Structure 1
């Protein structure tokens, strides 16, 4: 995806959404359909749409959806339903899961949230999520073992883990991880 930055300065300038979009695009063999869940302000979804992907962005906050629609007519924007994804029709080639969508959950509901996304991706498609592994003043964290268990319960298989959106190798102790699970 030419034009999308990957270096640390670009992450600070444009936000991790654009770099997450580049990461997802780099894992796909062709320009296909991408589902962005917990799309927030829509930076990742918009970057993917502008790069030629057919994108559906799902966000629970209707105000964020309205703002994203006003800014980006290429992406199909959908207001979510309390963390669940319920779409009809197309199967997606990949899904990008927003950090806040994963962290803003009730105890025990992560597996059902992941399953609601998994129903919308084709066999072999990846679900990609970037998560802080340590809580900070501005962010909660989620133990990777908790995420992996929820993904397994949702019927997903582990594919890979990275230390950042650039693809650096993950090792325990890093403050962030990008987890890739696959729909069998």
Structure 2
């Protein structure tokens, strides 16, 4: 642990797992597609790919990716979220850990795709973002993909203003040896343009 509370913990106190799960269950019951992230990632992957869901929360995406045939590991720093994930998919690998110290969790660092959805990057502890991006990049095999989703304005964040800009994020990715391959405005693949309130980015770790 870094000793510094991340923005997610400041917002929730680390006790929001059940409430978060109920919210998505209600969305599913009302007919909403709650699997957009998993569908997006699957389109980028070969069958039976290795996926790391970084900031996996209650495991909604990782569980769906496993149902689609991929091998998924979930990591989160919030025990209340992981408790839900472990209850819903007890045979999957769920790890309690700080993303700034991902390399201490004993993972084989050859993932085909690392996912940081659900505003993981903006909700990190202030100042740790470049470290986390380096850790996520290091977990990829050569040719592997880092897929992120983040709000860029208050309407798409649980914060009064965005703590991270795309320019900063792309700079951290470049420093970590990643190159931007694609960017969209939604998980459905809508085109991104300047001023969009949300960005889905696909960065690649180049093959040697």
TM-score interval for Structure 1 and Structure 2 normalised by the shorter chain: 0.7 to 0.9
Q: How does 1:150-169 map to 2 (within 5 A)?
A: 150-169=172-191
| Structure 1 residue 132 corresponds to structure 2 residue 151 | yes
Q: Deviations over 1:76-99 (max 9, x none)?
A: 101112643233325111011033
The runs of 4+ residues in structure 1 deviating greater than 6 Å are 9-12
> TM-score if structure 1 supplies the norm length?
0.85
| Structure 1 residue 94 corresponds to structure 2 residue 87 | no
| Structure 1 residue 180 corresponds to structure 2 residue 199 | no
CA contact (8 A) 2:109 2:141 kept: no
Please point out which of 67, 70, 81 is paired with 2:98: 81
Cα-Cα RMSD: 2.2
CA contact (8 A) 1:93 1:125 kept: yes
| Structure 1 residue 53 corresponds to structure 2 residue 70 | yes
CA contact (8 A) 2:56 2:76 kept: yes
Q: How far does residue 47 in structure 1 lie from its aligned partner after superposition?
A: 0.5
What is the alpha-carbon distance in structure 1 between the residues aligned to residue 124 and residue 74 of structure 2? 19
* 5+ residue gaps, structure 2: 1-26
Say which one has the larger Rg: 2
What is the alpha-carbon distance in structure 2 between the residues aligned to residue 139 and residue 118 of structure 1? 26
> TM-score if structure 2 supplies the norm length?
0.76
* 5+ residue gaps, structure 1: 1-8
